[in-house]
Protein backbone atom coordinates (compact mmCIF):
# COMPACT_ATOMS: atom_id res chain seq x y z
CA UNK A 1 0.00 0.00 0.00
CA UNK A 2 1.26 3.50 -0.85
CA UNK A 3 1.57 6.63 1.26
CA UNK A 4 -1.53 6.96 3.49
CA UNK A 5 -2.21 10.39 1.97
CA UNK A 6 -1.74 9.33 -1.63
CA UNK A 7 -4.60 9.84 -4.08
CA UNK A 8 -4.06 8.13 -7.44
CA UNK A 9 -6.05 8.73 -10.61
CA UNK A 10 -7.12 5.37 -11.98
CA UNK A 11 -8.96 6.62 -15.07
CA UNK A 12 -10.37 9.75 -16.68
CA UNK A 13 -13.06 10.27 -19.26
CA UNK A 14 -14.21 13.48 -20.99
CA UNK A 15 -17.98 13.65 -20.64
CA UNK A 16 -18.54 17.03 -22.31
CA UNK A 17 -16.40 19.44 -24.33
CA UNK A 18 -17.75 22.99 -24.64
CA UNK A 19 -16.55 26.34 -25.92
CA UNK A 20 -15.25 27.45 -22.50
CA UNK A 21 -15.44 24.44 -20.20
CA UNK A 22 -15.27 20.69 -20.34
CA UNK A 23 -16.51 18.08 -17.89
CA UNK A 24 -14.28 15.19 -16.92
CA UNK A 25 -15.10 12.12 -14.87
CA UNK A 26 -12.14 10.72 -12.91
CA UNK A 27 -11.92 7.58 -10.83
CA UNK A 28 -9.55 8.16 -7.94
CA UNK A 29 -8.04 5.60 -5.56
CA UNK A 30 -8.61 6.79 -2.00
CA UNK A 31 -5.77 6.60 0.55
CA UNK A 32 -7.83 4.52 2.98
CA UNK A 33 -8.82 2.01 0.31
CA UNK A 34 -11.47 1.85 -2.37
CA UNK A 35 -12.02 4.37 -5.10
CA UNK A 36 -14.35 7.27 -5.79
CA UNK A 37 -15.67 9.00 -8.89
CA UNK A 38 -15.07 12.75 -9.16
CA UNK A 39 -16.62 15.07 -11.74
CA UNK A 40 -14.35 17.97 -12.63
CA UNK A 41 -15.15 21.09 -14.60
CA UNK A 42 -12.02 21.97 -16.59
CA UNK A 43 -11.63 25.71 -17.15
CA UNK A 44 -8.90 27.73 -18.90
CA UNK A 45 -8.56 30.10 -15.94
CA UNK A 46 -9.20 33.80 -15.70
CA UNK A 47 -7.85 37.14 -14.55
CA UNK A 48 -9.50 40.03 -12.72
CA UNK A 49 -8.24 43.57 -12.23
CA UNK A 50 -8.70 45.89 -9.26
CA UNK A 51 -8.00 49.15 -11.10
CA UNK A 52 -7.59 52.01 -8.62
CA UNK A 53 -7.27 55.61 -9.80
CA UNK A 54 -5.44 58.54 -8.21
CA UNK A 55 -8.57 59.43 -6.19
CA UNK A 56 -8.67 55.91 -4.66
CA UNK A 57 -11.68 54.94 -6.75
CA UNK A 58 -11.98 51.42 -8.10
CA UNK A 59 -13.29 50.58 -11.56
CA UNK A 60 -16.37 48.34 -11.54
CA UNK A 61 -18.28 46.94 -14.50
CA UNK A 62 -21.92 45.86 -14.46
CA UNK A 63 -22.59 42.92 -16.73
CA UNK A 64 -25.51 40.53 -17.26
CA UNK A 65 -24.76 37.02 -15.96
CA UNK A 66 -27.15 34.45 -17.33
CA UNK A 67 -26.85 31.75 -14.62
CA UNK A 68 -28.39 34.26 -12.18
CA UNK A 69 -30.47 36.15 -14.76
CA UNK A 70 -29.32 39.57 -13.54
CA UNK A 71 -26.50 42.04 -14.11
CA UNK A 72 -23.73 41.85 -11.50
CA UNK A 73 -21.14 44.37 -10.37
CA UNK A 74 -17.70 42.95 -11.07
CA UNK A 75 -14.09 43.86 -11.71
CA UNK A 76 -12.81 44.07 -15.28
CA UNK A 77 -11.97 40.43 -15.95
CA UNK A 78 -11.74 37.75 -18.56
CA UNK A 79 -10.83 34.24 -19.55
CA UNK A 80 -7.29 33.11 -20.18
CA UNK A 81 -8.36 31.82 -23.57
CA UNK A 82 -5.66 33.34 -25.83
CA UNK A 83 -3.09 30.63 -26.52
CA UNK A 84 0.25 31.36 -24.90
CA UNK A 85 -0.74 34.78 -23.56
CA UNK A 86 0.81 35.36 -20.12
CA UNK A 87 -1.81 36.15 -17.45
CA UNK A 88 -0.55 39.71 -16.88
CA UNK A 89 -0.96 40.43 -20.60
CA UNK A 90 -4.48 39.01 -20.43
CA UNK A 91 -5.21 41.36 -17.50
CA UNK A 92 -3.87 44.34 -19.44
CA UNK A 93 -5.93 43.40 -22.49
CA UNK A 94 -9.11 42.93 -20.45
CA UNK A 95 -8.69 46.28 -18.70
CA UNK A 96 -8.33 47.98 -22.08
CA UNK A 97 -11.24 46.08 -23.67
CA UNK A 98 -13.73 46.52 -20.84
CA UNK A 99 -12.77 49.82 -19.22
CA UNK A 100 -10.68 51.57 -21.93
CA UNK A 101 -7.83 51.93 -19.44
CA UNK A 102 -4.18 51.05 -19.08
CA UNK A 103 -2.03 51.07 -15.95
CA UNK A 104 1.60 52.02 -15.43
CA UNK A 105 1.95 49.94 -12.24
CA UNK A 106 0.82 46.34 -11.74
CA UNK A 107 0.92 44.02 -8.72
CA UNK A 108 -0.45 40.53 -8.13
CA UNK A 109 -2.87 40.76 -5.22
CA UNK A 110 -3.85 37.11 -4.93
CA UNK A 111 -4.75 33.88 -6.70
CA UNK A 112 -8.10 32.22 -6.17
CA UNK A 113 -9.42 28.72 -6.85
CA UNK A 114 -13.07 29.46 -7.61
CA UNK A 115 -14.58 26.19 -6.43
CA UNK A 116 -11.87 23.55 -5.92
CA UNK A 117 -14.28 20.81 -4.92
CA UNK A 118 -15.33 20.35 -8.55
CA UNK A 119 -13.63 22.94 -10.77
CA UNK A 120 -10.00 23.70 -11.67
CA UNK A 121 -10.61 27.39 -12.48
CA UNK A 122 -7.75 29.55 -11.18
CA UNK A 123 -8.19 33.33 -11.13
CA UNK A 124 -5.23 35.68 -10.81
CA UNK A 125 -6.33 39.00 -9.34
CA UNK A 126 -4.16 42.01 -10.12
CA UNK A 127 -3.92 45.51 -8.69
CA UNK A 128 -3.58 48.12 -11.45
CA UNK A 129 -2.54 51.68 -10.54
CA UNK A 130 -1.53 54.90 -12.30
CA UNK A 131 -4.39 54.59 -14.77
CA UNK A 132 -4.71 56.33 -18.11
CA UNK A 133 -7.30 56.27 -20.87
CA UNK A 134 -6.69 54.17 -23.98
CA UNK A 135 -8.54 53.30 -27.14
CA UNK A 136 -10.26 49.95 -27.41
CA UNK A 137 -7.71 47.40 -28.70
CA UNK A 138 -7.70 46.85 -32.45
CA UNK A 139 -9.76 43.87 -33.50
CA UNK A 140 -11.82 43.68 -30.30
CA UNK A 141 -15.53 43.55 -31.06
CA UNK A 142 -18.03 44.51 -28.37
CA UNK A 143 -20.81 41.92 -28.49
CA UNK A 144 -23.34 39.93 -26.47
CA UNK A 145 -23.49 40.91 -22.76
CA UNK A 146 -20.72 43.46 -23.21
CA UNK A 147 -23.02 45.58 -25.41
CA UNK A 148 -25.03 46.41 -22.29
CA UNK A 149 -22.09 46.60 -19.86
CA UNK A 150 -21.66 49.77 -17.85
CA UNK A 151 -18.46 51.04 -16.22
CA UNK A 152 -18.32 53.05 -13.01
CA UNK A 153 -15.69 54.33 -10.59
CA UNK A 154 -16.49 53.96 -6.92
CA UNK A 155 -14.41 54.92 -3.88
CA UNK A 156 -12.64 51.78 -2.69
CA UNK A 157 -14.14 52.08 0.81
CA UNK A 158 -17.63 52.32 -0.69
CA UNK A 159 -16.98 49.28 -2.89
CA UNK A 160 -15.88 47.31 0.18
CA UNK A 161 -19.07 48.33 1.99
CA UNK A 162 -21.08 47.18 -1.04
CA UNK A 163 -19.48 43.74 -0.58
CA UNK A 164 -20.84 43.62 2.99
CA UNK A 165 -24.20 45.04 1.87
CA UNK A 166 -24.56 42.13 -0.58
CA UNK A 167 -24.55 44.45 -3.60
CA UNK A 168 -21.30 42.95 -4.96
CA UNK A 169 -21.39 39.14 -5.07
CA UNK A 170 -18.97 38.08 -7.80
CA UNK A 171 -16.25 35.99 -6.11
CA UNK A 172 -13.31 37.63 -7.90
CA UNK A 173 -14.68 41.07 -7.06
CA UNK A 174 -15.20 40.14 -3.40
CA UNK A 175 -11.69 38.76 -3.07
CA UNK A 176 -10.04 41.52 -5.10
CA UNK A 177 -11.75 44.42 -3.35
CA UNK A 178 -11.09 43.06 0.14
CA UNK A 179 -7.47 42.26 -0.76
CA UNK A 180 -6.95 45.74 -2.23
CA UNK A 181 -8.44 47.36 0.88
CA UNK A 182 -6.14 45.29 3.10
CA UNK A 183 -3.15 46.14 0.92
CA UNK A 184 -3.93 49.83 1.48
CA UNK A 185 -3.91 49.59 5.29
CA UNK A 186 -1.66 46.61 6.00
CA UNK A 187 1.08 47.01 3.42
CA UNK A 188 1.49 43.25 2.87
CA UNK A 189 4.36 41.82 0.85
CA UNK A 190 2.84 41.04 -2.55
CA UNK A 191 4.15 38.27 -4.78
CA UNK A 192 5.98 39.13 -8.01
CA UNK A 193 3.61 40.11 -10.78
CA UNK A 194 4.60 37.03 -12.84
CA UNK A 195 3.73 34.56 -10.05
CA UNK A 196 0.79 32.25 -10.32
Exactly one of 24, 129, 146, 158 is catalytic; name it: 146
Tell me if residue 146 is catalytic. Answer: yes
- Count Cβ neighbours within 10 Å for each residue of 132-146 and write b for 16 or more, e otherwise: eeeeeeeeeeeeeee
CA distance 166 to 2: 46
- Calculate the CA 72 to chain-centre distance: 14
Residue 77: Cβ-neighbour burial (10 angstroms; 0-12, 13-18, 19+): buried
Of 175, 1, 144, whose CA–CA distance to 75 is shortest?
175
Return d(Cα 87, Cα 44) in angstroms, integer: 11
Instruction: List C-alpha distances in Å: 57 to 49, 160, 181.
Output: 13, 11, 11
What is the C-alpha separation between 64 and 148, in angstroms, rounded?
8
Distances in whole angstroms, Cα of residue 123 to Cα of each of 2, 41, 91, 192: 33, 15, 11, 16
- Residues designated catalytic: 146
Amino acid sequence: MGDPHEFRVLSTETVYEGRVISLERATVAMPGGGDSVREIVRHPGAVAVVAVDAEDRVVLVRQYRHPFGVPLWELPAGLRDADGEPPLETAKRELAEEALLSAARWSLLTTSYSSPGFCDEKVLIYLAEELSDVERPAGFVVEHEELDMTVDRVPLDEAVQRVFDGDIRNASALIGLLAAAQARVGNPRLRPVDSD
